[in-house]
């Protein structure tokens, strides 16, 4: 089941970096959470895109393995 939506919440730290909480949801509404830290000026959107892409690949692999009984 691919990720179909996500939310990103963050809190800014004393040094200007951010503490981020990315919650991703698949077609069934199952939530997957990833937390990460980013310095000021970091391209958070790229990190979000990569995380979702990686999770999609992980979910597809898991689903395939379940289907073929691995």
Partner 1 sequence: LADYFVASGGSNTAPYDTWAKAATSLQTALTAASASGDIIAIQYNGVPAGDAEVAGATTYTFNNNVSLIASTNSGTSTITPTAMSTANWIGNSTTNRNITLLAVGFRIYTYGLTFRTAGATAASLIMATGDGSHWVHDTPYFWSGNTNSGAVTAFSSQDHQMFVRCVNPTFRFGAVGQFLRISAKAEFTGGEVSSAGSTPTALLTFTSTDPGGCTLVWEGADLSVLGSNSILGDNTTSAPIVWLTRCKLGTGFSLLATQTNLNRSSGEVFAFDCSNGDTHGLFAYANAMGSVSSDTGIYFTAGAAAQSWKIVTTAACSYHTPFETPWFSAYNSTLSSQTPYVEILRDGSTTAFQNDEVWGEFSAKVTSGSTQASFSNDKMALAGAPANQAAGAGLGSWTGESGTAWSGKVDSGSAITPAELGHIRARIVVGEPSITVYLDPQIRT
For 3-61, the DSSP string reads: EEEEEEEEEE-TTS-EEEEEEEEETT--EEEEEEEE-TT--HHHHHHHHHHHHHHHHHH
Token look-up 């997957």 returns 32
Specify the DSSP class assigned to residue 64. Answer: H
CB of 67 to partner 1, least distance (A): 15
The 7-36 site mask, x for binding partner 1 (CB under 8 A), equals: --x-xxxxx-x-x-x-x------xxxxxxx
State the binding string over 41-60 for partner 1 (x if CB under 8 A, else -): -x-x-xx--xx--xx--x--
Residues that bind partner 1 (CB under 8 A): 9, 11-15, 17, 19, 21, 23, 30-39, 42, 44, 46-47, 50-51, 54-55, 58, 62
């Amino acid at each position: 089941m691919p990720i179909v939506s996500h939310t990103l919440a963050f809190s800014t730290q004393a040094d200007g970096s951010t503490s981020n909480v990315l919650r991703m949801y698949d077609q069934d509404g199952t939530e997957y959470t990833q937390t990460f830290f980013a310095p000021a000026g970091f391209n958070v959107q790229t990190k979000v895109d990569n995380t979702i892409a990686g999770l999609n690949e992980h979910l597809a692999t898991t689903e395939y393995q379940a289907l073929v009984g691995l």
